[in-house]
Each structure stands twice: as C-alpha cells, then as structure tokens.
Amino acid sequence: MVTFNGSRLSIEDINALALQQQPAQLDTDAAFRQRIRRGSEFLDNLLAEDGEIYGVTTGYGDSCTVTIPPELVAELPKHLYTFHGCGMGAILPVESGRAVLATRLASLCQGFSGVSEALLEQLERLLQHDIVPLIPEEGSVGASGDLTPLSYVAAVLCGEREVYFKGEVRATAEVFAELDIQPLTLRPKEGLAIMNGTAVMTAIACQAFSRARYLEQVATRITALATIAAKGNAHHYNEILFSAKPHAGPQKVASWLRDDLETGKPPRNPNRLQDRYSLRCAPHVIGVLSETLDWNRTLIENELNSANDNPIIDGEGEHVLHGGHFYGGHIAMAMDTLKNAVANVADLLDRQMAMLVDTKFNHGLPSNLSGAEGPRKAISHGLKAVQIGVSAWTAEALKHTMPASVFSRSTECHNQDKVSMGTIAARDCLRVLQLTEQVAAACLLAAVQGLELRIKQGDIEEEAVSATLKATLAAVRESSPFLAEDRPLERELRQLVDRLQQQRIALYESHA
C-alpha cells in the first residue's frame, strides 16, 4: 500500500501505482488531516476579510492585476481548467496517467496548497477505482507547471471530459454516475493547486528513470555476449584496472561483465591485444548512464516530494507566499541529461552490432550473422536489414539529444518570460528510450545469434559459457529462434522490445 500523507515517496512508489502493483490510500491520521484543514480554513478566513490572493481574487498569470468581483470568485477555478482545455498531440498512456494522479496527490499532501480534504479524497478515489484522465501530452512549457495537461485532471475531478476506465475510453460523467461518485466543485485556489505544478513532467521522469535503470543492465548483458561473439578480450574488464579510475558506474558495469564472462582466467584474442572501443570502453559508456541515474534520483524525488504550486499557503503561520515553485528546471535538467546518457548507450550498441555483422571485424563469423548453410548461404542476408534499422534508430535517438531546457520561450504576455521546458525534456527522454530499447532488442538478437554461431563453429565450448549468459540466450530464444533462414523479424523484435520494457528478462538485479 502506498500511503499519501506528506511523507517522502520514492520513484518506485509512483511506478508501482502506475503499473497497479500496489494500491493507494490517503492517510486517515488526525494530525495529517488537521494540517490539510488548516490551509483551507486560513484561505476561507482570508477571503471573508476581503484579502487579496493571487488566482483566488485575481485573474491568472499576466491577468493578476485584474480584480475578480466577489460574486464570481467561486466560478474562477472552473474557468481555469476550461480555457486550458486545448492540449494536443498523443494521449498519455494509461500508466502515465496513473503516475500523474499519484504525483499530483503527493504534492498536494505536503499541506502547502490550501486545498480541501475533499479534493485529496477525489484524487484517491480516481486511483482506487482506476479512473484515469485522458491527458494530451503537448501544450506545457514547464512553468507555470503543467497547466494545460493538468487541466484534464482538474476537469475529470469535476466530472468532465474523458477517462480510461476498464480498458475503454468513457465520458467521465457516465463513469461517475455508474460508480455513484459525486463530481467535485473546486473551491477557491483549488484549480491553481491542481494545475500549477510539475506533476506531468515528474510522473514521466519516474517512468523514464525505471526504464533507463533496466537499460543499463540490458546494455551490459549485450556487451558480455558481444565480447564472446566477437572473440573479444575479457581482460578489458579487470578489477585492478578499474580500481585505478574510481568512478562507481564503470566499476559496477565491469564487475557485472566479469561475472558474466567468469574471468578468473580471462580469454585473450591472440590476434588482437586491444579490442575496439565499443567493447573496451563499454563500462565507461554504460557507467555514465549508471551514475547519471544516481543523481537523477535526487532531483526527481525532491520534485516529487515538494509543494510545487503557487501561491504556497502556510496555514500554520497564516502566510500566503507568492513564488515560482511550479518551475520545472530540475526535471528539465534531469531529463535533458538522462536522454544524452541513454542515446550514448544506443550509439555504443550500434557500434557493437556493426562490428558483429561485418566479416572485416567479427573474427570469423558469417556475413550479417546468417545461420544459413550450403548453397542457401548465397541468398541469405541474415541481419543485414536489422543492422540498417539499428543505424536509423540510433541516428534518431541522437537527433533528440538537443537539450529542451535551452529553448525557453517568453509567453503569456511576457509573464511567463523564462520557462523550464521540463515536460518536453521528459517526453524527449521517453522517445530516446523507446528508440534505444529498439536498438537494444536488435543488438540482443545479434549477440545471441553470434554466440550460437561461435558454439556451432566450435570456437567455444557450450560448457564454457556462463550460466547467466545461457539464461539470457534461452530467454531470447523463447520468442525468437536461431536465424537459419531469412524471415521477417518485425514481430519478434516488437515482442522483445515489449519484454525489455516490461523488464521480464532477468539480469543482474531484481526489478519490480
């Protein structure tokens, strides 16, 4: 059970909710509930005393100089989510939508947003019944937070727009009526509290983190397989060698490679003392991804556990604090950096694949790793087209590495004149991950094919292959047999990409 009460949540908590591996609950603790009530009661008292509050008694953004007539204050939150209902692009997957709900609830539970218990309970209800808003992914500049995409969450809380429910797209009003859920009427400031934050970019960042952490292991296992397939030198991963350069990421990757290659007496290539960089420097490339993820965790989880709307409502001290906590700069930096580290792994694997399929560099393997024999070798082209695909996917991944955060645009009458672009950075990161996972699936097929060809050619005894590499070979062969004759590989590649994304192939660590 993931409990929401303002205490610190992890990336894994959000992803468990996104994948429905754990249920969500709002804490019933009296002290937590009282902290939430103090914020909303303070706002009520302030309004009764004719206090001026941004977004409550004023317009939004550059319209903060517009005073709202008292009789229209109650209608203002509905107008906020209504005029922001202009999202475009693809709809976020249902898993991402769940992550958005959980991330927004985590922020509001910090107790600095001035919202009611009823709002928190409505978000809890959506998670518990798996009612997930349809959220268009485009339209946010990442400050003031994810206004447009989060307007779809606000509207659904109020019974409007559409949701995923039981595998179908349904009108929210119909689902609420079916489940006897009362639509919420937003109180003053609650529209801002829901929308003026970083929930979408942070939710996507949590998902990107998990996928990249698993990719670190996939790339390492591919490197181990490719080392054997290419008659590479396992001494490149020597423990003493890596103790001389104390970066934790490369040291971890090299240790995994030593375990895979069982390098008590590392095999040496008699014809080549030093392998090409795509093997020799693999721990250094993958290790950068590993350490990038380590500091990414701090940025992502601090954002996840922050009150990131505006204004901040201090119910205890009775202050309304106007600031810029909706600014998604930390997520932008995390995602811009992560997508570069991931794309570098795609480039590494692309180079390993190019080496394995080319008879000039693969030390005796057949051209394009074709398993055809006899006269049929002449018409068989093995993984030739797959290698072209890997090159295309890698190039596209590299193209997406331009940092989004440097493309800040002044908008909204120059009120939002410096923005984070954090949501675009997070979406870019997911695209780079998708392309790199496709590269990884193809390279995994190639490395496994190369290993089996070595065994068939008598270059290595099957008994000499470690148990971990044998397990990966068997896992891949469950959905993709040895390539003895040309066949369309699209379906097998898609299945393998899906298995990698679901983290269903056991590697170095257990994953949720």
User: Distance between CA 15 and CA 102 in Å, rounded?
Assistant: 9
pLDDT at 264: 54
CA distances from 209 to 7, 39, 107, 486 (A): 21, 33, 19, 36
User: Distance between CA 421 and CA 478 in Å, rounded?
Assistant: 42
Note if 152 is an active site residue: no
Contacts of 313 (CB under 8 A, 6+ apart): 39, 42, 43, 112, 113, 114, 189, 319, 320, 321
pLDDT at 74: 85
Strands 2-4 and 24-26: parallel
User: Distance between CA 177 and CA 500 in Å, rounded?
Assistant: 39
Best CATH choice for the domain 2-197 from the list 1.10.275.10, 1.10.1270.20, 2.160.10.10, 3.40.50.1240: 1.10.275.10
Provide the 10 A C-beta neighbour count for residue 387: 21
User: Distance between CA 99 and CA 104 in Å, rounded?
Assistant: 9
CA distances from 329 to 129, 175, 185, 210, 445 (A): 33, 36, 32, 20, 38
Residues 380, 486 contacting (CB under 8 angstroms): yes
Kindly state the tokens that stand for 85: 């209902």
Exposed/middle/buried for residue 262 (C-beta within 10 Å: 0-12, 13-18, 19+): middle
- 91, β-bridge pairs: 136
Contacts of 306 (CB under 8 A, 6+ apart): 107, 110, 325
User: Distance between CA 118 and CA 104 in Å, rounded?
Assistant: 15
> How is the chain split into domains, by residue range?
2-197, 205-307+325-501
Residues 469, 225 contacting (CB under 8 angstroms): yes
CATH superfamily membership of 205-307+325-501: Fumarase/aspartase (Central domain) (1.20.200.10)
Catalytic-role residue among 54, 81, 164, 508: 54
Per residue of the chain (512 residues), give pLDDT as tens. 999 999 999 999 999 999 999 999 999 999 999 999 999 999 888 888 867 777 787 877 777 778 888 888 888 889 999 999 999 999 999 999 999 999 999 999 999 999 999 999 999 999 999 999 999 999 999 998 899 999 999 999 999 999 999 999 999 999 999 999 999 999 988 999 999 999 999 999 999 999 999 999 999 999 999 999 999 999 999 999 999 999 999 999 999 999 999 865 555 676 778 999 999 999 999 999 999 999 999 999 999 999 999 999 999 999 999 999 999 999 999 999 999 999 999 999 999 999 999 999 999 999 999 999 999 999 999 999 999 999 999 999 999 999 999 999 888 888 888 899 999 999 999 999 999 999 999 999 999 999 999 999 999 999 989 999 999 999 999 999 999 999 999 999 999 999 999 999 999 974 33
**26 phi and psi, to 5 degrees?**
-90, 130
CA atoms within 13 A on the CB side of 256: 25
Kindly state the tokens that stand for 405: 């955060």
Which single residue is written with the structure tokens 């148990």? 467
> What's the CA angle centered on 166, arms 160 and 172, to 5 degrees?
5
